[in-house]
Structure 1
Amino acid sequence: MALLPYDGAMIPELRKFHAASATFHFAKRDIVIRQDWKQLGVAAVVWDAAIVLCTYLELGAIQLQDRTVIELGAGTGLVGIVATLLGGDVTVTDREVALQFLESNLRENIPPDLQTRARATELSWGVNLCRFDPGSYDVVLGADVVYLQETFPALLETLEHLSSERTVILLSCRIRYERDRNFLKMLGSRFVVEKVHYDTEKDVYIYKAQKRTVKEDL
């Protein structure tokens, strides 16, 4: 997806997206993330929702050690990298066009002894989901994946396919428009949803979702 062009010099708060890299400190390591706005647009820059989700994961609110984790719409891979450093066995996913860029950030930031615990693979929401074992992940992560209304049904289908009743889903996002609230209502029709964190500075929410049990649906 491409955004309307703008003059970065005229909008100072957006200049960070033109930087070739951004450095973060999580899991006791410096993480240097390459960015490439000109080639890949929104998929290749670090958004606030990813930073907030990484901070939340580092707090240990959910267990990642030896858990199977999948990240949707991984973009630069920052969230998946942090999840790997915190002990997860992580699959980071995005569209095929972003995979080479995503893989490079994984290689450059995950130490050799953990490389086998992280892999990048193509996943377009709602497409060829049979390639992923249904309900086989302990944790599903998504940062700033709730923003295009036309993708909501496919995103919901993908979350349902990847999750079992034991799966914890964490979605980090800004609630910008009424359509975003509508997605939360859609999510709440299939999952038990609760707000678990709000970053007042960055105006980012984290929602936790888990599949409804048969008993809850009765």
Structure 2
Amino acid sequence: MALLPYDGAMIPELRKFHEASATFHFAKRDIVIRQDWKQLGVAAVVWDAAIVLCTYLELGAIQLRDRTVIELGAGTGLVGIVAALLGADVTLTDREVALQFLESNLRENIPPDQRTRARVRELSWGVNLRQFNPGSYDVVLGADIVYLEETFPDLLETLEHLSSERTTILLSCRIRYERDQNFLKMLGSRFRVERVHYDAKKDVHVYKAQKRTVREDL
């Protein structure tokens, strides 16, 4: 994930991202997420794609309770925190520079008696994959991680490594540019992909992907 601070005074639409915290209500709880745009940029604010994905998870369209879940590019941790509060066993991942910040949000929002359900680990896409057992997750989550074209091959490699044919991948994103469509085509060459949710107000899509079976590839 790119860590690119911006000058909020120059972009009024981004002013909300410069608030020290943001409060959300999911899983019957108020979740207070600390933000730190000045130090960590895009990795440390809550984007609409994360909110939409949390809403989709809360709808119960996929089973989370007692499932093993991994979140890629977790940033503030909102999506992973909501998944844990909904009963999943969650590993929240991001690059090393963002981990301390991510851990602080986790500590503040997961009750002590549920703390064993969630942990933070470093994961740079396509780099340290051997530290994660291949195909060992029931669900892979990603919110607004499809935006840097140079990361697409590593992201695809990571999705392939973490998932098996039984894994459900949920990616929440805006389709801004042709490169975003290109990623969906790349994803579709290796996974079965369908759009399962669309928030028209926020213009955010949620895509579900699952590995193709050997028979499908023949």
TM-score by length of 2: 0.98
Matched pairs, number:
217
* Paired residues for 1:97-176 under 5 Å: 97-176=97-176
Q: Is the 8 A contact 2:95 2:123 kept in 1?
A: yes
Q: Secondary structure, in 3 states, of the residue corresponding to 2:189?
A: helix
Structure 2 equivalent of residue 197 of structure 1:
197
Please give the secondary structure, in 2, of the residue aligned with 1:202.
Answer: coil
Q: Determine the structure 2 residue equivalent to 1:19.
A: 19
Partner of 2:6: 5
Gaps of 5+ in 1: none
- Aligned equivalent of 2:35: 35
Supply the distance in 2 between the matched residues of 1:11 and 1:143 (Cα, whole angstroms): 22
- What is the 5 A alignment of 1:70-81? 70-81=70-81
The amino acid of 1:137's aligned partner reads Y
CA contact (8 A) 2:69 2:88 kept: yes
Write the deviation string for residues 94-141 of structure 1: whole angstroms up to 9, x where unpaired: 000000000000000000111001000000000120100000000000
Q: Which position in structure 2 is the counterpart of 1:55?
A: 55
Q: Which amino acid letter does the alignment assign opposite residue 145 of structure 2?
A: V
How far residue 215 of structure 1 moved from its aligned partner, in angstroms, is 1.0
Q: Percent identity?
A: 87
Tell me the amino acid that sits aligned with residue 68 of structure 2: T
Residue of structure 1 equivalent to 2:184: 184
SS of the residue corresponding to residue 55 of structure 2 reads: helix
Counterpart Cα distance in 2 of 1:57 and 1:32: 18
Please give the root-mean-square deviation of Cα atoms over the aligned residues, in Å.
1.0
Q: Aligned letter for 1:84? A: A
2-side partners of 1:201 and 1:3: how far apart?
26
C-alpha displacement of 1:148: 0.1
**For residue 5 of structure 1, what is the amino acid of its counterpart?**
Y
Amino acid at match of 2:84: T
Q: Equivalent residue for 1:86?
A: 86
Tell whether the 8 Å contact from 2:4 to 2:40 is kept in structure 1 after alignment.
Answer: no
2 CA distance for matches of 1:97 and 1:107?
18
Amino acid at match of 2:35: Q
Distance in 2, Cα, partners of 1:76 & 1:5: 17
Moved more, 132-141 or 10-19: 10-19
Write the letter of the residue equivalent to 2:38.
K
Runs of at least 5 residues in structure 2 that lack an aligned partner in the other structure = none
CA–CA distance in 1 between the matches of 2:4 and 2:140? 27
Instruction: Identify the residue that residue 213 of structure 2 maps to in structure 1.
Output: 213
Aligned-pair distance for 1:9?
A: 4.1
